[in-house]
Structure 1
Amino acid sequence: MISDVPGIARVAAYYAEVWETTQDVLSTETLHCIRHAGGATIGAFDGDELVGATTGLFCPDGSVYSMIAAARSGVGHPLKLAQKDWAVELGARSMRWTYDPLVARNARFNLVKLGAVAVEYTVDFYGPMRDGVNDGDESDRLTVRWDLTGAREPRESLPAGEVVRTAPDGEPLARTDGERIWCRVPHDVVRVRKESAELARQWREAVRGVFVEACAQGYVATSMSRDGWYGLERL
């Protein structure tokens, strides 16, 4: 846990660095308020270097809401497990957070590595964002729910069935076999944004269309393949 003034300020600066902005992502003052209200910021270190951090709040329903997380490659999993340990000690049975549905690597980490389930799609969750990672794109988010009481075994499934939508690159975007749905996202949407804001917008709207319709029919996202296909099913 990080609770001292210099440590909290360091985390605030780290979040701003990761999101490529000179503005606060979460300010030092906000992080202190979260800690004072019973939340926690947990850091990961390589020697004296801060290489990851996550901040969460305990919610009235007994769950934990993970507000933000950032980590160097290979650090995210142990950092998330440390946050889970903190949550379980408080009596939490589940944890929730949001992420950009177009970021395939985050989807695979959340749904496959951790075994969480994406249960809700929200259009433009934050409204306009002005950081270096998200600037110029709408802030659609998937909400994931992570059961802390037991491990879910994700089922890797290759996309199958009829192609029902085409992606901006001309390749299949969505398939269905009548029971399950598969939806593809770009390999690296951050690079796509930097190269073409218009193409990124097209991907956003295309994937949004699949998820909004699927969620309205009771589907949740349970898996992400290595080549960028979400697997959606009714649980």
Structure 2
Amino acid sequence: MSNPIEIRQLTNLEELAEMQQVEESVWHMPPTPIHQTYTALNHGGVLLGAYDGGKMIGFIYSFAGFDGNDPYLCSHMLGILPNYRKDGLGMKMKLKQAEISAKMGYPMMTWTFDPLESLNAYLNLHKLGAIGAHYKIDHYGSMDDGLNQGLPTDRIQIEWHFNRTTYQAIDFDEAKLLLNIDKDGYPITIKENIDSANDVWFIAIPEKFQTIKQQNPQLAREWRFETRKVFQALFSKGFQAIDVVRDESNPISYYYFSK
């Protein structure tokens, strides 16, 4: 019987060096300097390691943030080695991070994610109950790592308020669908104009976006730019990404937007 994965706070330079190794394995690019992560660790940051026995197989790197009014935790990186990306480890790590953050006095945590990564969207919005608050075009500029290379780094900014009441279960409504997927896997706009009188909208995204990027880069670009237009329009009208609904019979997920 395998040992359970242990999730614990990182406290020293040796553990931060282990974190660098995992980061490099996940993103295939030079890791964050230890002097930076160590500074965050000593000034309000929350850094976690996930361990299988004595081996670090995942980490979270977050640091203190301030918007001019309130403090919050900025969760910058969550990395897990490929063989461990099942069984809900990412969610367990985020919940541990939130537990520690709340005890430290943070009311909220924020981070960004690629809106076309359906697994991340489902974790952030559906499982954790966070909200997508803002859309950022090419937020990080050009990135050459294995996960982001070749596309603008558009991101949705997440806000996870620890005292927020989660929404009830959402039922998909095709009549409120703004963007869908055609039979060949391409994005197809259903409605050009967003009626502000409607307080609910859905947007389809494909599963396994990384596979699409590898097999059909042009299709991946179409998804980036078509969804960008719809996301921008919704956020500009005061909508927020509240949940993600999965189509159990097709490789499709649907964003649920509401005011």
Q: Structure 1 vs Structure 2: percent identity of aligned residues?
A: 26
Indicate if the aligned counterparts of 2:178 and 2:202 stay in contact, CA closer than 8 A.
no
Runs of at least 4 residues of structure 1 off by over 4 A? 162-168, 170-177
Instruction: Name the structure 2 match of 1:144.
Output: 158
Query: Which range moves more in the overlay, 90-99 or 148-157?
Result: 148-157
Q: Compute the displacement of 1:3 (Å).
A: 2.2
Deviations 1:40-67 (A, max 9, x none): 2111112112222111112232211111
Instruction: Name the structure 2 match of 1:99.
Output: 113
Task: Tell me the TM-score normalised to structure 1 length.
Answer: 0.91
CA distance in 2, matches of 1:162, 1:62: 37
The 3-state SS of whatever aligns with 2:169 is coil
CA distance in 1, matches of 2:10, 2:223: 38
Instruction: Name the structure 2 match of 1:6.
Output: 14
Query: Which range moves more in the overlay, 216-225 or 74-83?
Result: 74-83
CA distance in 2, matches of 1:5, 1:16: 17
**Does the C-alpha gap of structure 1 residues 10 and 157 become closer, same or farther in structure 2, counting only changes over 3 Å?**
same
1:213 aligns with 2:233: yes
Instruction: Tell me how many residue pairs correspond in the alignment.
Output: 232
Instruction: Name the structure 1 match of 2:172.
Output: 158
Instruction: Name the structure 1 match of 2:258.
Output: 233
CA distance in 1, matches of 2:129, 2:176: 27
**Does the C-alpha gap of structure 1 residues 218 and 191 become closer, same or farther in structure 2, counting only changes over 3 Å?**
same
Q: Compute the displacement of 1:146 (Å).
A: 0.7
CA distance in 2, matches of 1:46, 1:158: 39
Task: Tell me the TM-score normalised to structure 2 length.
Answer: 0.83
Q: State how 1:1-235 maps to structure 2 within 5 Å.
A: 1-19=9-27, 21-24=28-31, 26-60=32-66, 61-71=70-80, 72-73=85-86, 74-161=88-175, 164-165=178-179, 167=181, 169-170=185-186, 172-173=188-189, 178-227=198-247, 228-234=253-259
CA distance in 2, matches of 1:170, 1:46: 40
Equivalent AA in structure 2 for residue 188 of structure 1: K
CA distance in 1, matches of 2:37, 2:160: 23
CA distance in 2, matches of 1:93, 1:35: 19
CA distance in 2, matches of 1:209, 1:171: 12
**Does the C-alpha gap of structure 1 residues 217 and 45 become closer, same or farther in structure 2, counting only changes over 3 Å?**
same
Indicate if the aligned counterparts of 1:174 and 1:182 stay in contact, CA closer than 8 A.
no
**Does the C-alpha gap of structure 1 residues 224 and 173 become closer, same or farther in structure 2, counting only changes over 3 Å?**
farther
The gaps in structure 2 that reach 5 residues or longer are 1-8, 248-252
Deviations 1:72-129 (A, max 9, x none): 3221122111111221111111111100000001001000100001010000000000
Indicate if the aligned counterparts of 2:241 and 2:257 stay in contact, CA closer than 8 A.
yes
Equivalent AA in structure 2 for residue 12 of structure 1: Q
Q: Compute the displacement of 1:151 (Å).
A: 4.1
CA distance in 2, matches of 1:160, 1:229: 10
